[in-house]
């Protein structure tokens, strides 16, 4: 769909796998985050090379020559922004990480989401497995799950697993973005 140079020699592509009868949603996968080894700490080496996955409802408009409105463009901008985080901070991306929409955690246009939780990549109900290369390198796919400010705070206070368990109990632990889903945290 798009190509962007994050830094000299490090392009980021976002690939679209269009909806079909077996997979009735649009699937976006980054390619380029794993071009450079990320600085994962000892014991978390599987996060040295990662790519991100996000699924959108069937028919979601894709970037073309005509610019998309902000409420349709945010998933693409979020993926690009998330890939930049480990490069700017000399760190890594892994299960349980939350990445706010900008430093001020602004809402993604047209949604109640202001943050993205990274966890196992799901294509529908199928977990996307890691790829193990003969040289020992592991490519890990991480799913991007948009969450609200209250859900982010819940995760900070109770942990990643508690939020995932809550999402699963309400049938909202899906890589398919549902911009109309309610906040899972009672007020």
- Tell me the three state secondary structure of residue 75: helix
Quote the CA–CA distance of 130 and 160 in Å, as a whole number.
20
pLDDT per residue over 14-58, tens digit each? 888 999 998 899 999 998 888 888 899 999 999 999 999 999 999
Contact between residue 78 and residue 116 where contact means Cβ atoms under 8 Å apart: yes
Q: Are strands 50-57 and 138-148 parallel, antiparallel or unpaired?
A: parallel
Q: Which one is predicted more confidently, 141 or 9?
A: 141
Count CB neighbours of 149 within 10 A.
16
The backbone torsions φ and ψ at residue 19, rounded to the nearest 5 degrees and listed phi first, read -60, 150
In sequence order, the β-bridge partners of residue 144 are 118
pLDDT per residue over 88-141, tens digit each? 888 999 999 999 987 667 889 889 999 999 999 988 788 999 999 999 899 999
């Amino acid at each position: 769909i798009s190509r962007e140079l994050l830094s000299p020699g490090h392009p980021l592509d976002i690939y679209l796998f269009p909806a079909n009868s077996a997979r009735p949603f649009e699937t976006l996968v980054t390619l380029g985050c794993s071009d450079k080894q990320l600085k994962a700490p000892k014991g978390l080496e599987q996060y040295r090379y990662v790519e991100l996955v996000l699924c959108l409802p069937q028919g979601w408009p894709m970037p073309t020559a005509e610019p998309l409105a902000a409420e349709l463009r945010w998933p693409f901008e979020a993926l690009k922004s998330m890939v930049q985080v480990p490069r700017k901070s000399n760190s890594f991306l892994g299960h349980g990480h939350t990445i706010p929409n900008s430093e001020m955690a602004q809402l993604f246009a047209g949604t109640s989401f202001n943050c993205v939780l990274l966890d196992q990549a799901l294509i529908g109900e199928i977990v996307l497995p890691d790829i193990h290369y003969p040289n020992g390198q592991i490519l890990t796919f991480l799913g991007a799950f948009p969450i609200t400010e209250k859900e982010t705070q819940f995760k900070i206070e109770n942990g990643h697993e508690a939020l995932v368990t809550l999402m699963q109990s309400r049938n909202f632990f899906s890589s398919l973005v549902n911009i109309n889903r309610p906040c899972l945290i009672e007020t």
